[in-house]
Amino acid sequence: MRKNKILTLILLTVLMLVLTTGVFAKTTVEYWTTQTEENRVEVINSLIKEFETSHPAFEIELVTVQENDIPTKLVAGMAAGRLPEIVEMGSEVIMKMGAEGMVASDEVSTVINKIGKDDFFMGSLTMLSRPGEGYFGVPFHGWVQGIWYRQDLFEEKGLESPTTWENIIKAAEAFYNPDQQRYGIVIGTDKDAYARQTFTQYALSNNARIFDENGNIVFNSPEMVETLAYYSRLAEFTPPGPDGWRDARDLYLAGRVPMMMYSTYIMDDIGLEATGYKGEKGSIIPNLVDKTAFANKMHKTRDAIFGQINGLTFIKGNEETQMAGAKMFAEFLLTGDNYIKFLHMAPGGMNPVRASIASDPQYQNNKVLEVWGEKAGEIAAGLNSIGKFGYVGGKVFPKIGDITSQFIVGQTIMKMTESGWTAEEAAEWGQKEMEDAVE
Amino acid sequence: MQIKTDRDARLGYWLILPTVIAVSGLIFYPIVYNLWLSLQEVNMNPVQPNTFVGLKHFTDVLTDTDFWRSFKTSLIFTSTTVVGTTLLGLGTALLLNRDFPGRSVIRGVILLPYVTPVISAVFGWKYLFDPVFGMANYFLVDILHLLPQHINWIESPAYAIYAVIIFNIWKNFPFAFLMILAELQSISANLYEAAEVDGASIWQQFRYITLPELKFVIGALVILRTIWNFYKFSEVYLLSSSVEVLPVYIYEKAFASYDFGQAAAISAILFVFVLGFIMFYVRKVLEW
């Protein structure tokens, strides 16, 4: 008898477990993001919790991916036939996925229209538009790149702000003192995304392009060769290379370089002095915010601003219920308080792509943004006019994704800075590699 | 060979079946799949089919100068690290085989590099060799004035290979040390006593007693380390992406150029190369 009772009890428990999981079965939506920093993941997780409370039928599974690892993860996911429903990534990656036919672009347009197409900055929509019509991604947030420099030191030496090629190299040379481990500038000289990002601005300011309007690769054009030559001369005033973004940030905060190229994400580090980084004699440069200025426009033959738009996009081939959840989650993230909470993860770094949010007092009400004051507004305004290699004369060339994933621009730069090639040789090499890559 | 079919034998087959399935699933299937991939132009979109291209990838790879440059880097990396780890392990083992106070503590401490997770060791080394703040540059340039200027040891393609080799030797010599020490302890003290009575010098004792006794363990260490280091990815790539050994080259072919077919072809070529080396080594050097 006793045995029977126990058995019944066990069976009942099992039955209950099975039934309850059946009732509360949730649709899982996988979400990939390039926000890997711990405090940002915390914010995203709390947003996910809110979403799950208000949409009990769905469960969001968060996967964080390092920016430089995206190509690897995507390929592995594709090969395994197991891709997420919704991803948040840079526009190049989204364009590449779009070109591969992986993006559900109708769903993207639905979300854009539902939020209100007119509320998005035009510049951000262009970055994610699909050749022909429609969009490959919903614009989410963006950053602007430029030269961050020490206004106080520039004034001391009577130097002009680094907005033109001439001024930049003149200042770099003036500050270069390797015996004291003081360097002129940090620009990207490694095989990574940072090198392409910093180089792009020089190239665009000299009207040097990777694609011409017909989509041919023109990396060996005279303008590009001139830019490469200039860039490698400028690299002589950098710390012993190759250098990456970490060098730029650390050395600037430690007062070892008076100039470096970085995105708006540095505003957080400078504004809060929150890196915990100990500069010389145990203290970080005091009041770095007041001493720092930002030159986001560069000029040679024309003005160039470089930046990045991150977008949200949906992957084809997932179940309809999952897709519905992904769409709801995208809208949730881009709306009101949720959106502001998201952007405040990296105040100044992440800029809104919706006009109504940019002017929302609640968005502007943030310590770091207040510290930067009017500068913050000017910086965000740059977002509307950023230029990139993949976009020429209103046309979009998603093939740029194949070139960026192999870091060919960075490798070309390294040929000059590390192996001593001339700009012409490096340009020819890059041209050939790029032609192979887009084949 | 005759295949047995009686009842006992049949039971035997059933009993080894799980092993056969496990081995084929885990070893033969990936090998065959890799060979099959190496004959295809692999389409990244799983919905679209692959194209059969025959031996094209193999001819492409064997005529590619980048491949041969990586091959050379791999040979340099493997040979120097194998010699380095073995010699350093041997030397340390001989020293720590003597009796002295605190010996067991030192033996334990020696193992630390081997048991430290790669990623933490890598970050430590990156700071050690940092171009601006690193201790290595501080000593070599600012204190000893051996070099004219700071060098980016870890990232610069010209120097990174040295950093990676030194790091690998440092990280892996404890394994050689451990194996050799175990073997040293099993050598009978009588042999040395007899040799001393016969008037053999320390060097002669090492040459005619210790080395022959260690021959097989050193032989095994060399072949294991060769196989491991020829395919070493993590310790190289995590420390410096500037050192293009073959595994890194394959990785970039597959995950940056999306050329899975060619990456598979390179793997197949390496497989044949390493297999050939092992067969030769086992027969001629180990004389098994």
What average pLDDT does the segment B235-262 reach? Answer: 87
Neighbours of B121 (CB within 10 A): 19
The pLDDT of residue A189 is: 93
For residue A277, the model assigns a pLDDT of: 42
State residue A284's pLDDT score. Answer: 65
Q: What is the mean pLDDT of residues A251-255?
A: 89
What pLDDT was estimated at residue A194?
92
Residue A2 DSSP class: H
CA distances in angstroms from A308 to A133, A143, A201, B281, listed in the order given: 21, 5, 12, 54
pLDDT band at A20 (very low <50, low <70, confident <90, very high): low
Q: Would you call B189 exposed, middle or buried from its count of C-beta atoms within 10 A (0-12, 13-18, 19+)? A: exposed
Helix (H) and strand (E) counts in chain A: 22, 12
Share of chain B above pLDDT 70, in %: 97
Spatial separation of the C-alpha atoms in residues A73 and A67, rounded to whole Å: 10
Backbone φ and ψ of A199, nearest 5°? -65, -35
Average pLDDT, rounded, for chain A: 86
CB-nearest to B258 from A75, A243, A407 is A75
Supply the Cα-derived Rg of chain B in whole angstroms: 24
Confidence bin at A273 (pLDDT 50/70/90):
low
Distance CA A162, CA A260 (A): 10
Chain A residues closer than 8 Å to B255 by CB:
71-72, 75-76
Q: CA of A181: which chain B residue's CA is closest? A: B132
- Range with the lowest mean pLDDT among A170-174, A271-275, B204-208? A271-275
Indicate the pairing of strand A27-33 with strand A86-90: parallel
Q: Does A410 touch chain B (CB under 8 A)?
A: no
What residues does A195 pair with on adjacent strands? none
pLDDT in tens, A52-78: 999 999 999 999 988 777 777 877 787
The model's confidence at residue A100, banded by pLDDT at 50, 70 and 90, is confident
Q: Is the pLDDT of residue A438 over 90?
A: no
Q: In 10 A of CB B17, how many CB atoms?
A: 10
Cβ(A413)–Cβ(A231) below 8 Å: yes
Do residues A333 and A339 lie in contact, with contact meaning Cβ atoms separated by under 8 Å?
yes
Do the chains contact at B152 and A72, CB–CB below 8 Å?
no
Q: Using CA atoms, how far apart are residues A229 and A416, in angstroms rounded to an integer?
A: 9
Q: Cβ of B150 and A240 within 8 Å?
A: yes
CA A371 to chain centre: 23
Tell me the CA distances in angstroms from B145 to A237, B76, B128, B140, one per residue in order: 22, 29, 18, 6
Instruction: For Cα atoms A33, A37, A41, give the angle at the middle one, nearest 5 degrees.
Output: 60
- Alpha-carbon distance of A340 to A316, in angstroms, equals 29
User: Does A246 lie at the interface with B, CB-CB under 8 angstroms?
Assistant: no
pTM above 0.90, yes or no: no
Specify whether the CB–CB gap between A234 and A187 falls below 8 A.
yes
Provide the 8-state DSSP code for A282. G
Q: Residue B81 and residue B217: Cα distance in Å, rounded?
A: 17
Q: How many CA atoms does the CB half-sphere of B90 hold within 13 Å? A: 17
* Buried b or exposed e, range B71-81, using 16+ CB within 10 angstroms: bebbeebbebb
> Which pLDDT score, from 0 to 100, does residue A424 have?
94
Question: What is the helix (H) or strand (E) element at residue A138, kind and residue range?
Answer: strand A138-150
Q: Is A422 helix (H, G, I), strand (E, B) or coil?
A: coil
Q: Which residue has the tokens 């001393």?
A: B196
Per-residue confidence band for A101, with pLDDT thresholds at 50, 70 and 90: confident
pLDDT for residue A363 is more than 50: yes
Burial class (CB in 10 A: 0-12, 13-18, 19+), A316: middle
Residue A383 DSSP code? G
Structure tokens at A152: 């106080």
**What confidence tier does A282 reach under pLDDT thresholds 50, 70, 90?**
very low
- Which pLDDT value is given to residue B83? 96
Asked if residue A276 has pLDDT above 70, the reply is no
The most confident of A118-127, B98-107, B173-182, by mean pLDDT: B173-182
The answer to whether B157 contacts A414, with C-beta atoms less than 8 Å apart, is yes
Shortest CA gap B252–chain A (Å): 8
Residues of A in contact with B44 (CB under 8 A): 75, 78-79, 100
A407 neighbors A193 (Cβ within 8 angstroms) = yes
How high is the pLDDT of residue B147? 84
Q: Which of B46, B149, B150 sits opposite A81 (nearest CB)?
A: B46
For residue A281, what pLDDT is reported?
41
**Would you call B258 exposed, middle or buried from its count of C-beta atoms within 10 A (0-12, 13-18, 19+)?**
buried
**What integer pLDDT is reported at residue A288 of this predicted model?**
81
Suggest the residue from B41, B133, B255, B260 to mutate for an interface test with chain A (most A CBs closer than 10 A): B255
Which residue blocks in chain B are alpha helix, DSSP H? 7-23, 29-37, 56-62, 65-96, 103-110, 112-115, 118-128, 135-137, 157-185, 189-197, 202-205, 211-230, 234-239, 246-255, 260-280
Report the C-alpha gap between A413 and A189 in whole angstroms: 6
Distance CA B249, CA B228 (A): 16
A181 and chain B in contact, CB less than 8 A: yes
Over range A37-52, report the average pLDDT: 92
Q: Residue B51 in 3-state DSSP?
A: strand
Of residues B206 and A288, which shows the higher confidence score? Answer: B206
CA–CA distance, A185 with A261 (Å, rounded to integer)? 8
Closest C-alpha to A338, from A313, A366, A357: A357
- Please give the structure tokens belonging to residue B129: 């060799």
Q: Is the peptide bond before A242 cis (omega within 30 degrees of 0)?
A: yes
Q: Tell me the pLDDT tens digit for each residue of A213-239.
A: 888 999 999 999 999 999 999 999 999
Cα separation, A25 vs B249, in Å, equals: 45
Does the pLDDT of residue A360 top 80, yes or no?
Answer: yes
**Could you tell me the CA-to-CA distances from B116 to A197, A430, B171 in Å, in that order?**
36, 40, 8
Residue A175 scores a pLDDT above 60: yes
pLDDT at B71 over 70: yes
Q: Which of A102, A242, A402 sits opposite B155 (nearest CB)?
A: A242
pLDDT for B152: 87
Q: What is the pLDDT of residues A119-164, one digit of tens each?
A: 998 888 888 988 888 899 999 999 989 999 999 999 999 999 999 9
CB A241 within 8 A of CB A189: yes
Distance from C-alpha of A237 to C-alpha of A403, rounded to nearest angstrom: 27
Residue A299: strand, helix, or coil: strand
Chain A (53-112) residues lying within 8 Å, Cβ to Cβ, of chain B? 71-72, 75-76, 78-79, 81, 100-102
Question: Could you tell me which residues come within 8 angstroms of residue B207 by beta carbon, excluding any fewer than 6 positions away?
Answer: none
SS3 string, B78-144, reads: HHHHHHHHHHHHHHHHHHHCCCCCCHHHHHHHHCHHHHCCHHHHHHHHHHHCCCCCCHHHHHHHHHC
Amino acid at A12: L
| ipTM of the complex as predicted | 0.73
Determine what percent of chain A is predicted with pLDDT higher than 90: 45
Residue type, A236: E
Distances (CA, A) of A122 to A90, A112, A347: 17, 12, 22
Higher pLDDT, A369 or B177: B177
User: Which residues face A182 on adjacent strands?
Assistant: A177
Q: Residue A21: its pLDDT value, please? A: 52
Handedness of CA B149, B153, B156, B159 (dihedral sign): positive
